[in-house]
Structure 1
Amino acid sequence: MSNFWTIKSFLPGMLERNRGHIVSISSSAGLFGVSRLAPYCASKFAVTGLTESLYCELFNMKKLATISNPKGIFISCVHPYFVSTPLAKGAQRGSTIKSYSPEEAVDSIVDGVLRNKRMLLLPQALGVLLFQKSILAGDTGLHMAEVVKVHNAFDNFEGRGWK
Structure 2
Amino acid sequence: MSFLKSTGDIIGFLLLSLFAIVEGIIKLFTPLKYRMKSVAGEVALVTGGGSGLGRLISLRLANLGAVVVVWDINKSGIDETVKLVQASGGVCFGYVCDLCDREDVYQKAALLRKEVGKVTILINNAGIVTGKKFLDTPDQMIIRTMDVNIMSHFWTVKAFLPGMMEDDKGHIVSIASLAGYTGIPKLVDYCASKFAAVGFDEALRMELEAEGYSIQTTVICPYFIRSTGMFEDVQSRFVPTLKSNEVADRVITAMRCNEKYAIVPGYLQGMLALKWMFPWTCAAMFLRGLVLDASPNHGVPSPSIPETEVTSIPSKDQNGSALHHQIARRVSSSERKP
Q: Same fold (TM over 0.5)?
A: yes
Q: Give the greater-gyration-radius structure (CA).
A: 2
Matched, 1:3 2:153: yes
Q: How does 1:1-163 map to 2 (within 5 A)?
A: 1-63=151-213, 72-84=214-226, 85-94=228-237, 96-147=238-289, 149-150=290-291, 152-154=292-294, 156-157=296-297, 160=316
**1:160 deviation in Å?**
4.1
Q: Any gaps of 5 or more consecutive residues in structure 1? A: 64-71
8 A Cα contact 1:88 1:157, kept in partner: no
How many Å separate the matches in 2 of 1:93 and 1:118?
27
Q: Which residue of 1 aligns with 2:5?
A: none
Q: Which residue of 2 aligns with 1:68?
A: none
8 A Cα contact 2:231 2:295, kept in partner: no
Cα-to-partner distance string for 1:2-53 (whole Å, 9 max, x where unaligned): 1111111111111111111000010010111111110110111111111111
CA separation of 1:33 and 1:121: change in aligned 2, threshold 3 A: same
Q: Any gaps of 5 or more consecutive residues in structure 2? A: 1-150, 299-314, 318-338
How many Å separate the matches in 1 of 2:294 and 2:182?
14
8 A Cα contact 1:98 1:123, kept in partner: no
Q: Which residue of 2 aligns with 1:69?
A: none
How many Å separate the matches in 1 of 2:286 and 2:259?
27
TM-score, normalised with respect to structure 1: 0.85
**1:111 deviation in Å?**
1.1
Letter in 2 for 1:154: A
Name the SS of the counterpart of 1:88 in structure 2. coil
8 A Cα contact 1:76 1:113, kept in partner: yes
How many Å separate the matches in 2 of 1:155 and 1:6?
29
Highest RCO, 1 vs 2 (Cα 8 Å, sep ≥ 6): 1
- Give runs of ≥4 in structure 1 deviating > 6 Å: none
**1:124 deviation in Å?**
0.5
Moved more, 7-16 or 138-147: 138-147
CA separation of 1:155 and 1:77: change in aligned 2, threshold 3 A: closer
The alignment covers a number of residue pairs equal to: 150
Letter in 1 for 2:293: A
Name the SS of the counterpart of 1:24 in structure 2. strand
How many Å separate the matches in 2 of 1:6 and 1:16?
16
Q: Which residue of 1 aligns with 2:146?
A: none
Letter in 1 for 2:160: F
Name the SS of the counterpart of 1:79 in structure 2. strand
TM-score, normalised with respect to structure 2: 0.42
**1:86 deviation in Å?**
1.3
Identity over aligned pairs, percent: 33
